[in-house]
Each structure stands twice: as C-alpha cells, then as structure tokens.
Amino acid sequence: MRIQKYDGSRFKQTNIDPTKIYRTSSWQNLYAIDSEDYMSSSGGFVNFYSRIIYPHAIYNSGQDKTVMVYQNTSLHPYAIEYNHSTKLWSSAYQIGTNPLSATNDDHGGPAIFHDFDGYYHVFYGCHASHTTGCKHAKSDSPNDISSWTAQSELTGSLTYPKIFEVADGTIFLFFREDFERSIYYKSTDNCATWSSSTTYCEFNYTGGHQEYGNIVYDSVNERFHKVFGCRYPNGSPNLDWAHNRNAYYMYMDIDNENWYNSDDALITDVDCETDTLIWDSGDLTNHYITFDMHCSSGKIYAFAPSLDTDGCSSAAEVLQNPGEPRFLYYDGSDWTVSTPFPTHKNPDLLLNCRVIAEDHLQVFLSYLRSGSSQSFTFGGNVEEWEYYNGIWTFIRTVLDSSDNGKYNGRPTIVHGANEELVWFFDEGSDSAGTATKIWAYGDRGII
C-alpha cells in the first residue's frame, strides 16, 4: 500500500451540533423495518445508484420537505416529496421520458438540484454512447414537483451526474465521459447555460479507465474530494465489471480549479494514476467505492467492496466468492486499510455511510444471500453499523430479505437531511419492468 500525507493544519475548525450525535439519539432504540411499511411500491429495476449519481434526494429546509427522485418500472424519472410538518407523502410525478427505457438500461438514474430561486432541476437518462447526452428537466414552479419542462440537454457521451453548488453560487456538474475520462461543467445562472467541459482525470488505457466513485463537497475549505476505483481493460478471462481495481484520491481547490493528491502535490497531467493511487487492491475488485469525510479535520472514510477475483473465469463467479469490504481511513496524515466487517458477499452499490462527527460514522451495508447467483446490484439483509473513535459496532438488521423473499439494499442518503428522513432503501428485482418497494428511514424509524 502506498501511503500519502498532507498537513492537516490547513483545515479550519467548526462547531459540531451535539444534538446530531447518533450515539445519544433515539436511533439506538429502533427495531427492524417491517417489509410492508414501504413508502412506495412503484420503484423500478434499479431505483438508486447510491452516491455515484448524486443526489437522489434533498431536504428543502425552507419548505420543510424532502424530495426524492427515482426510476419507475419503465426507468422513467419520477419525483415524490415528504412533508415533515404534515407527515404526509405527496403523489409521485413523472419528470420526463428516459431514452434508456427501451433497452432496460438502468444506468441513467436521476440526480436532483434545488436552485437559488426555488426551482428543482433533474438530470437523467444518460449512459455513455447509448444516448446523445444528459436530459435536463426543470420544475414549472418554485418548490413544486407536480409539473416539469424539458430543458436543453448536455450533449455528449455522459454518465453518472453529480451536482453541487459552491459558496459563490457556481454550480458544478460532474460526469464520466465516454468510458475514458472524468469531466465537469459549470453554470453561474441557475443551470440555464453551461460552460464547456473540463477534463480533470483520464488514465492512459486503451478502452478507457471507467472510474467509479463519488465526490464530496467540502464547504469548510471550498474543495471537492474524490475517491474512486478504476476499471482496467478487459483481459482474458473477461471479468467485465470485476476488472475494477485499486483506490485513488484527489481533491480540487475550487478557487483555482487545480487538482492535488493527498501529498498536496499539484496534478499536472490528467493521466494521474500514479499520483493519485492510495491502495493497490491486487486481485480484489472494487466496483463503486463510496466515502464521506469530516471536513473540519480533513479525515476521510472510504469503503471498497473488495471481492476476490483470483481464479475466476467470469463476473458471475466473482459474486460467489466471499469478500471483506475494506475500510480506507485517512486520519489527516496517513491512509490505512482494514477489514472491520465479517466475510460475506457484498458488492458495490450495497454500502453507504455518513459522517455524524469526527471519527463517528453511520454505515449501512447489504449482504447477498447465501448461494445467490443474482446480478451484483442486488443485496439481501440490510445491516446498520456504527464507527465510533476506532470501534466498530453492529447495531441492527434494518431489513431482512426473508421478510419479503427478495433482495434489499442500495442505501441512499438524503443531501442536507432532516434527521426524520436520512436514508432510502429499495428492493431488488430479478428482472426489468418489475415493480419494487422503497423504504424511507430516519431517527424515529420508517416513514
């Protein structure tokens, strides 16, 4: 493992609201979710893409509502909202038409943004060369999800939108372009127009590097942080998604839009594999690494699925191997890698986390059921874990696959959440076009 360092003194301190500390909240007394207490049964084949498409849900503090966007059984984008004052769910409203519906391509899930004037924007319907670009819809009225109008799409071979607004009001929209490079667009007029794209990462491999990971906006230091894995060119045997390897880290200084590694060294070449490597995973595949961070201390908490590919002749065989998810921890000086969870089958989208405070995490992960030969996007039992000052504790089984005979998982976090509703989970389906359930979860249990 390559260890990289940076000076933690550059991070500013902020006050932490002790009422947000998970350990002392009523979350500790919750019981498992009843499988029939779902908030929707109109979900699709893949409703959420965890943090790789971000965010799927946001809290509108001015209206005291949580708005969530998802794909229905035909993979078209829908919006639904929860009113925290009335404790009621709205109807679900269609946002637009997903061009990927015809081919049952679930990679075009929606990301939502709430602009300064109160309008919602949703970006969806793109998966590399399978579409002409990313669809963009805008709500017809501020703070209203009931009707939408299509906007000009962002053209190109785009995948996995992630959208953020920074301190000066600039909006950054990140994508993977083709299967080869990482790019972003900027808007300074509430998503009405966009800059040309900027490429910031492109590993030099024939067939592309296909990066998979998420981005965190650091509002304390005005930075974007990114931890990701890389799919190397398929060899023999062809392991498809299981060719994803390693873990990489880089951050952007938003003031100058320069990227740096964790040595604080300026990245001058978009082919930055060597400069950004933080963990060589060997034969372990890491599809969809996820992370969160404590911005004031600069500490980073990342998770890699780490399924063993040694001796496998297909991706299906990889899913039958036991895996131990790796915990990649950056303490402000060094990266360390550990295996805090029991050995199990746990691929990509089925693990997510949030930082409650420094060295305090809430983590959800999903287990593939024993002997499962299902697609890697399906889980089984959803478990909740806590990390507190270096100690891992199993909290509860939140959803039990035996309750409904199907797979559960894809824990998805609400951006800027109200503690009453922080997470969504969904039910996996064995085939496209099958209606699935979605659960909402917060500090008083399910909603």
Q: What is the DSSP string of 349-372?
A: GGEEEEEEETTEEEEEEEPPPTT-
Domain 8-446 has CATH 2.120.10.10: yes
Which of these, 195, 190, 131, 188, lies nearest to 160 by C-alpha position?
131
Radius of gyration of the chain (CA): 20
DSSP symbols for 164-221? EE-TTS-EEEEEEETTTEEEEEEESSTTSS-PPPEEEE----TT---EEEEEEEETTT
* Whole-number Cα distances in Å, 315 to 118, 242, 325, 346, 372: 44, 6, 17, 14, 13
H helix or E strand, kind and range, residue 328: strand 326-330
Q: How far apart are CA 135 and CA 148, in angstroms?
A: 12
* Predicted confidence (pLDDT) at residue 124 exceeds the cutoff of 90: yes
308-365 pLDDT per residue, tens: 888 888 877 887 776 788 999 999 999 999 988 876 655 445 789 999 999 999 998 8
**Residue indicated by tokens 């509002």:** 219
Cα 370 to its chain centre, rounded Å, is 25
Beta-carbon contacts of residue 393 (< 8 Å; ≥ 6 apart) = 385, 386, 387
Sign of CA dihedral 288, 293, 299, 301: negative
Q: What is the pLDDT of residue 15?
A: 32
- Asked whether residue 5 carries a pLDDT value surpassing 90, the answer given is no
Instruction: Please report the pLDDT score of residue 431 as a whole number.
Output: 66
Both tokens of 435, joined, read 């209606």
Whole-number pLDDT of residue 261: 97
In the predicted structure, residue 440 carries a pLDDT above the cut 80: yes
Nearest to 266 by CA among 200, 320, 332: 200
Model pTM score: 0.90
CB atoms within 10 A of CB 296: 17
- The three-class DSSP label of residue 20 is helix
Contact 196, 173 (CB under 8 A): no
Position 342 scores a pLDDT of: 74
Taking residues 39-43, what's their average pLDDT? 81
Q: State the pLDDT at residue 343.
A: 65
User: Of 261, 364, 373, 273, which is closest to residue 319 (Cα–Cα)?
Assistant: 373
Q: Where are the domains of the chain?
A: 8-446
pLDDT tens track for 259-292 = 999 999 999 999 999 999 999 999 888 878 999 9
Please answer whether residues 28 and 21 qualify as being in contact, where contact means their C-beta atoms are separated by less than 8 angstroms: no
